[in-house]
Structures are given as structure tokens and as C-alpha cells.
Amino acid sequence: MNAKLTMIATASMISLLSSGVASMAGDIVWARDGDIDSLDPQRATSTLSRQLWYQIYDSLLEFNDKGEVVPNLAKKWAVSPDGKEVVFTLNDGIKCHDGTPFDADDVKWTADRALSEENPSLTKASWGPVVAVDKVDKLTVKFTLSKPFGAFVPFMADEFTGMLCDSNAKSAGFGVSSAVGTGPWKFEKWTKGSEIVLARNQDYRNFGRPVENPGAPHSDRLIVRTMPEAQTRLAGLKTGELQVIVPPIQDVKDLQKNPDVDVHIAKSTGQNMFLEFTVHRPPFNDVRARQAVSYALDKDLALKIVFGDLVQRELCPVAQGVFGHDEEFCRKFGQPHDPEKAKELLGELGYGPSNPMKMVMATWPGDSREKVLQVFQNQLKQVGIDASIEVMDIGTLNARVKQENEKAEGPGFMDLMGWTWFDPDVLYLLWHSPGAYNGYTTPELDRLLEDTRTEVNPVARRAKVQEVFKVLLSEAVHVPVYTPGWLWIFAVSKKAPGFKIGPFDRPLFSDVKF
Amino acid sequence: MTKYLVTRIFAAIVTVWVTTIAVSMLIHVVPGDPVQIMYAQSQGTTPEQLENIRRSLGLDQPIVTQYFMYMKKLMHGDLGHTIRGEQPVMDLLLLHLPYTLLLAGTALVIAIAIGMPLGFIAAYKRGSWLDTSLMTAAILGVSMPSFWLGLILLFTFAVRLEWLPVAGSGIQNLVLPAITLGVANAAIIARLTRSSMIDIFDQDFIRTARAKGLPRATVLYRHALRAGLVPIVTMIGMQFTYMMGGAIVVENVFGWNGVGRMAIQAIFQRDYPLIQGFILMFAIIVVIVSVLMDLLYVRLDPRIRYR
């Protein structure tokens, strides 16, 4: 009986171990620190998820290397003069991963699902005031909006509007065990917490992605592994087990000197790292207190100490490369490093050496953000501000900022936050009342933000967006610090050339060749 | 014996029951509104949607009702679904658990194979340089953090020597994490074996066995080892549960496909149902192992009789 038991145990062990997916030559293995939340672009928002969706789904439009909107699944689009109708004409002959043709029905299914009443997309607000989605003919779709919405067209190039094939409706496991799109990689398998296996889409035709390859990717499979330990990812890259990794920041300098590794640093990610304050209680209900903190900080020096040249100083409330961004304009309204001015403002508020201002600074862990706050803590000390640091996971931080804004008591609270978007509409989501965190809002700012949504003439819209910048910066509501802020560095084996990061932090594997 | 068995099993059931209460309350001890935290990253979620989610999770019900709802589902083997309502928690646990058991089991075999002979030798050569050096090594082994040892092994055997792969979930991938986890525990077992054997060597029945002229090997293995094993076996049971816990760290270092790595991801994603399921499963394993160890203890030591 013992022998029989041993046999059964051995057999089950062998079957267990053979169930893991071994990578083969011709596979690209990409290792990251965390897993996706969902395969469904309407059910999650994390960058880890977005970068994966981008491999499986294409959007109607794309961003070129300059960050401009270009055709993709849709070969052209037209906006009606009143800005309330947008018509897309699809490329003919595009196939879904399950072999069915991609047409207007798929677009309508995707949009209707995102906008549905009972279970809408998590990013429904970004679709804008869409009231109807109509199939005009097999390859033409019309979106009708209740009022003009300037950010609608670029949103059609985002991962959140990745086009789903309507055959997903028949699959109970859509988002978990199945995902049918039209992108360069077909979904094969997701082992939660462990890995995602994608296979080359043989039928792929590239209409807009910023890569050289016009068709299917060169490699057979793209395996995306979750490996939380940074040093293990680094070891895997060195041994050749992994081809693309998210490296530990402190090792980037060494990797840049390594002849076997290419380090790619994403530009124009849309990521904006900024400071914000709780404004409904002292001291930060007074603009002078917020400005004092901003004047006290030598942001350039802090970034140089923590990141070297891996990030850029950001002066505007939206990231470099985003519509409306203008460094010279923003410089006029922000607070440069001026500790004397900071002390003067603190003095006006009654703070001084015998009565230092106390505050809490918070952020979420990783990407050296804590270190930035440590340098800030020191700089604040020099003007007589006592700041403590709290680090918590991003979900808790988001909830905490909201809670702090609702509290009437307690020390001043400031957080180093990061938001990413390809359009200044991100400021509407953040600062139009009630605001993403119930923070600073005014009727005047609301009106300005509404104008940035409805104005479709680019010149006029730019002016409106910059008026918003002016309020946010001079009131020290949204104090920009740097860009990018997370998941922007990729270390790639030289044996797998062709990797590229497109604008807005989108990794492209179609050109990768062994 | 039967009465003891019944008492022991009853105590085990009570332990698991208390765990279910703790686990079902987990969601309420999180500071702030759990639904707000779960959906904090989704822009534009309206208060009505949050209310719907709260209702679908049963969070609008009184706490006692929520507990009964949880227990009712649990009785049907339903641990709920992951946070985005997609995968059954039970399926995920069952998928990853065998990997963790395999890792902890292999590590335990390694720990016993190294720890017991070394502890035995140290006890036999008590006070010698060999004893001192073995026990110094054991202290080092116990004090070494497993993630650090793991990385050292990784860089030596995978990166430098290229004998073994860095990460993954195949049979070759088992070697380094099992050694990492095994070594620290080997040290604990060695120390325990040593002290247990020293106790035994001093006992009268060993002196008698020697005095009546039995061969040394018979005295050592048949008389001393058998008696010395009792506390060691109990300890090994507890070691196994510690190893299951230690596996969480080691799995993350080596990218091993077990429940530990999944649990860490679940915590990052604030996937409460999955975290709850993980804790409950862990508690059940610890309880089962400790009951089994108690029974084995009785089997091994004829002096212990429970009435």
C-alpha cells in the first residue's frame, strides 16, 4: 500500500510541475513586480494592467511618437462642426483573435458595455457625455455627444478604450480566462499572481502603432511574469532567462554600463507627480501656508539627489507632452525655491522658531518616492516646519487623502501623488467639484474646467487649459514636482533587440527579434 | 484515547471557528471604508456604484448577518470571488496550494536530513570543538534572514555558476527555494535534537544499556534515538507550519508559483476575499498538522496515555 501511495504522490507531483509554462527559444519573457488586476480594460486602472491590455487590444486611434493622435483600427474620423458627432470609418479586413471579422458591431458592443448603467467601465467619466453609439454601416460607427467634448478623440487612442470583440459576450470567463481583441498578441493563459502567456497573432496588421513591423510580431510568445523581488528579476536578466525587466532604480546606473543590457527610459509618459494639500482646515486652508511649503522645497536638488537624471523636473500640472503643457508659462506661476520667502509667509501666519508648523507628508511605496519625501523633510526643517512621513499602499493613500479632506481637526496633511493621462482633462477629474479627493474646489475653477471640456478649437482650448494651470499653480493647489513617476524604466537584454516604449509608457514588442 | 481524540478534535474545530469570526471581521478592521479603498484607483466611480458594490458584498447588512452569510457560503465550500468578482477564491487556493506544500515538504526533508544527524553528532560529542562549531553554525543558520540567504544562493548558483535557473515553477526551480527554506530550519532541528539527545544520554536506562554491554550502535540508535525522537517529532510538526509561513517570503524571492506569492499580490491589490480565504486555509492547515502531531506523539511515546 505504501508503494502505491508513493506512486500516486510521484505521479501527481510530476503532473503538477509540468503544468508550469516553461519558456522556449523565441519567447520574450517580461518580468514585472506585480500582476494585472483584470484582462478587461473596463474593470481596472493600474499601469500594470494597462501595459498588458495594450498587447492584446488595439484602439480605434493611436498615438504616434510625438504623442499625436493618428488612425489605427479606424482609418479616419470626422467631428461634426458643432462637435457633438464623431464618425469613425474602420479599416476593412481586420480579424479578431478568434477569426471573426472586426467591424462596427464590435465597436458598438465595446462602447455600450463601457457606458452601460448597471455595470459601466471604471473610466466611464472619461468617455464624456456620450448619449448614443450607432452602427451606420458595417465599417462606420457614429458617437453622439450631448455637448462637445475636447478630450473624446484622444481618449479613443487610450488603453481604456481598447476595442473588444463582441464574441467576448459569449464567454463567461471574459477578463479572467479569455480575452478576444485584435492586438498583436493573442491571449492564451493567465495564472493569477504568477504569469500571463500571450501568443503571436499571425493575422495582425499594424495600422497605427509606432513600430516598424507592419504585421505579426517576430517572436512566438510573450510571457509576462510576476516577480516581486527586484534582485531576482535582475538575476534572471543576467542569466538570459528574462529578456525585459522592470529594474530596481538603484541598479539602473550599473545596468547602463553593462554591455549586455539596454536601458530604456520612457519619455512623455503622461505621468505627473505632484504635491497636494488638505485645504478645509488650518494650516493649509490658507494659501500662504501652501505656498510657504512650496517655496521651502528645492525640488531640483531633491530630484538630483534621489534620481540623478532618471526623471525630469515638472513645472506644469500636466506632464510634458500633454496638450497645453508650456514650461515657460507654468514657471511664472509656480513657487521657485526661496526659503526666505517661505519664512516670511510662515511668520505672517504666526509660525516661528518657538512655534513651528507641524505637518504630515504621505506617499505610496516604491520608485524612490519615500526618498524624495525624506529630502523634502530636511528642507522643510530648514525653514522651521516639522514634517513627519507616512508611507502606505496606493489604495489606502487614495482613501486617506479623501478622509483627511473630510476631517476638521488634525495637523496639516500633504501628499506626493501621481496621476497619468494623455490629456489635460485629467485636471477636470482631479479638481472639478467634488474633486477626486474632495479637496480644493471653487465655482470659478469649476467653470474654467468645464470650458476645457466643451471647447474644441485647439487654440481656444489651450488658453482655457492654461487659465486652469494658473489657478492651480498660483494657489499652490497642485504643486508639480517631476515626471515620470512609476514603471518607466525597462532593462532589456541586448540579445533581444527591437524593444521600444511608445508615448504614454506603452511597451512595444512587435519589433523584438532574437 | 478515544476521549482524548474527541477533545482534541473538538478543540481544533473551535479554533477554526474562532478563525472564521476573525477572518470575516477582517474587512471591518481596515481603517476607512473598504469599498472606497478597493475602488480608490478607479476614476469617476459614482457614489451609487459604490453603494451597489457594497450591497453585492453584503456590506450594507448588520455585522452579525454578514457573519452568518459568510458561514453559510463557507459551509458550501464557497469562499467567495476575487475582488473584481471573477475567479472563485477556492479554485485559486487549490491551484497554488500544492506548490507551497511541495516546497515546504521538500524543505522539511532537507531540514531533517541535515539537522537531525548534526544535532545527534553534536550531542554525542558534547563539549568538543565539533559540538561548538556545529552549534555556532546552527545559530548562524537560524539568524540568517531567508530572503538574504535566498539571494546569496541565487547569485551563486544561478548567476555565477549557472547550474540552476533563477525563477519559475519547474522541478529544477524547486532546488534553491527548498534549500533556502530548509537550511534555517535545519539549524533549529539540529539545536533541538542536540538538547533532546543530551537529556537522554544522561538517563539511567542508557547507562544500564551500556553497563550490560550492548554494542554502542544499539544503545545509540535503538535506545537513545527512539526516546529522543518524541520532542523532535512534535517540533517538526510545528516546523512544517512555520515553513508554510516562511514559504511566503521564499516564494516571492524565487518566483515560485505558491499561495504565498499569490497572497502578497492579493494584499497589494486589496483583494479582501482572497486574503480572507488565504488566512482561513492557513489556519486550517496549522490546526490539522498540530492535531496529527499530538496523535503521533501518543503513538511514539508509550508512557503517554490519555484517559
Q: How many CB atoms lie within 10 A of CB A225?
A: 24
- What Rg do the C-alpha atoms of chain B give, in angstroms? 24
User: Using the beta-carbon criterion (under 8 Å), do A396 and B31 form an inter-chain contact?
Assistant: yes
Distance from CA of B244 to the nearest CA of A (A): 18
Distance CA A93, CA A70 (A): 19
User: Using the beta-carbon criterion (under 8 Å), do A231 and B151 form an inter-chain contact?
Assistant: yes
Going residue by residue through chain B, which has 307 residues, state the pLDDT in tens, using 9 for 90 and above. 678 788 888 999 999 899 888 888 877 776 666 676 666 555 555 666 677 777 777 778 888 888 888 888 888 888 888 876 678 899 999 999 999 999 999 999 999 999 999 998 998 888 889 989 988 988 888 888 888 899 999 989 988 888 888 887 778 889 999 999 998 889 889 988 998 888 888 888 888 888 888 887 788 877 788 778 878 887 888 888 888 888 888 998 898 889 988 888 888 777 888 888 999 999 999 899 888 888 887 777 767 655 4
Window 168-197 of A: residues touching B by CB (8 A cutoff) are 173, 175-176, 191-194
Helix ranges (DSSP H) in A172-278: 230-239, 252-257
Distance CA B278, CA B72 (A): 18
A vs B, Cβ pairs < 8 A, gives 149
pTM for the predicted model, two decimal places: 0.87
pLDDT digits (tens, 9 = 90+) for A103-138: 999 999 999 999 998 778 888 888 999 999 999 999
Q: Could you write out the DSSP letters of every residue in A287-329?
A: HHHHHHHHHH--HHHHHHHHHTTSSEE--SSS-TTSTT--HHH
Torsion of CA A350, A356, A360, A363, to 10 degrees: 100
Residues of chain A found within 8 Å of residue B84, distances taken between Cβ atoms = 37-38, 43-44, 175
Distance CA B64, CA B21 (A): 10
Q: What SS3 state is found at B299?
A: helix
Helix ranges (DSSP H) in chain B: 2-29, 34-38, 47-56, 63-75, 89-124, 129-143, 146-153, 171-201, 204-211, 216-218, 226-254, 259-268, 272-300
Residues of chain B found within 8 Å of residue A229, distances taken between Cβ atoms = 147, 151, 252-255
For B279, the grid coordinates are 488566512
Residue A396 forms contact with B (CB below 8 Å): yes
Residues of chain A found within 8 Å of residue B264, distances taken between Cβ atoms = 193, 228
User: Using the beta-carbon criterion (under 8 Å), do A192 and B265 form an inter-chain contact?
Assistant: yes
Distance CA B181, CA A295 (A): 51
- Which pLDDT score is estimated for A261? 96
Helix axes B129-143, B89-124, angle to 10 degrees: 160
Search chain B and give the residue with CA nearest A123: B43
Search chain B and give the residue with CA nearest A435: B44
Residue A304 burial class via C-beta count within 10 angstroms: exposed 0-12, middle 13-18, buried 19 and up: middle
Distance CA A117, CA A321 (A): 34
Q: Which of B39, B43, B166 sits opposite A236 (nearest CB)?
A: B166
Alpha carbon distance, N-terminus to C-terminus of chain B: 6
The amino acid at residue B238 is M
Q: Please identify every stretch of chain A with a pLDDT value under 70, giving residue numbers as ranges.
A: 1-25
Q: What SS3 state is found at B24?
A: helix
Paired residues of A185 in beta bridges: A200
Residues of chain A found within 8 Å of residue B169, distances taken between Cβ atoms = 17, 20, 194
User: Using the beta-carbon criterion (under 8 Å), do B170 and A193 form an inter-chain contact?
Assistant: no
CA dist list (Å): A127 to A120, A147, A156, B4: 11, 12, 9, 66
Q: Which of B254, B269, B270 sits opposite A232 (nearest CB)?
A: B254
Residue B151 CB contacts under 8 Å (≥ 6 apart), including other chains: A229, A231, A232, B253
User: Using the beta-carbon criterion (under 8 Å), do B167 and A393 form an inter-chain contact?
Assistant: no
What DSSP element (H or E) covers A449? Answer: helix A443-454
pLDDT digits (tens, 9 = 90+) for A492-501: 999 999 999 9
Distance CA B247, CA B238 (A): 14
Q: Could you write out the DSSP letters of every residue in B69-100?
A: HHHHHHHTT---B-TTS-SBHHHHHHHHHHHH
User: Using the beta-carbon criterion (under 8 Å), do A399 and B252 form an inter-chain contact?
Assistant: no
Question: Phi and psi for A326 in degrees, rounded to 5?
Answer: -150, 105
Window 94-153 of A: residues touching B by CB (8 A cutoff) are 120, 122-126
Residue A267 forms contact with B (CB below 8 Å): no
Search chain A and give the residue with CA nearest B164: A239
Distance CA B181, CA B235 (A): 16
Q: Closest Cα partner for A33 from A274, A239, A236?
A: A236
Distance CA A20, CA A194 (A): 10
**Beta strands A385-391 and A271-277: pairing type?**
unpaired
Distance CA A394, CA A486 (A): 12
User: Using the beta-carbon criterion (under 8 Å), do B87 and A176 form an inter-chain contact?
Assistant: yes
Torsion of CA A219, A223, A227, A231, to 10 degrees: -10
Search chain A and give the residue with CA nearest B105: A13
Residues of chain A found within 8 Å of residue B158, distances taken between Cβ atoms = 235, 239
- What Rg do the C-alpha atoms of chain A give, in angstroms? 25
Residues of chain A found within 8 Å of residue B262, distances taken between Cβ atoms = 192-194
Q: Which of B49, B170, B257 sits opposite A194 (nearest CB)?
A: B257
Q: Which of A37, A175, A235 sits opposite B159 (nearest CB)?
A: A235
Q: What SS3 state is found at A195?
A: strand
Paired residues of A30 in beta bridges: A224, A244
Distance from CA of B46 to the nearest CA of A (A): 9
- Which pLDDT score is estimated for A158? 94
Residues of chain A found within 8 Å of residue B99, distances taken between Cβ atoms = 16
User: Using the beta-carbon criterion (under 8 Å), do A20 and B159 form an inter-chain contact?
Assistant: no
Longest dimension (CA), chain A: 87
Torsion of CA A311, A317, A319, A321, to 10 degrees: -140
pLDDT digits (tens, 9 = 90+) for A237-268: 999 999 999 999 989 999 999 999 999 999 88
Residue A459 forms contact with B (CB below 8 Å): no
Q: Closest Cα partner for A291 from A341, A246, A255, A250?
A: A341
Helix ranges (DSSP H) in A116-265: 124-127, 152-155, 230-239, 252-257
Q: Which of A46, A231, A429 sits opposite B41 (nearest CB)?
A: A46
Q: What SS3 state is found at A11?
A: helix
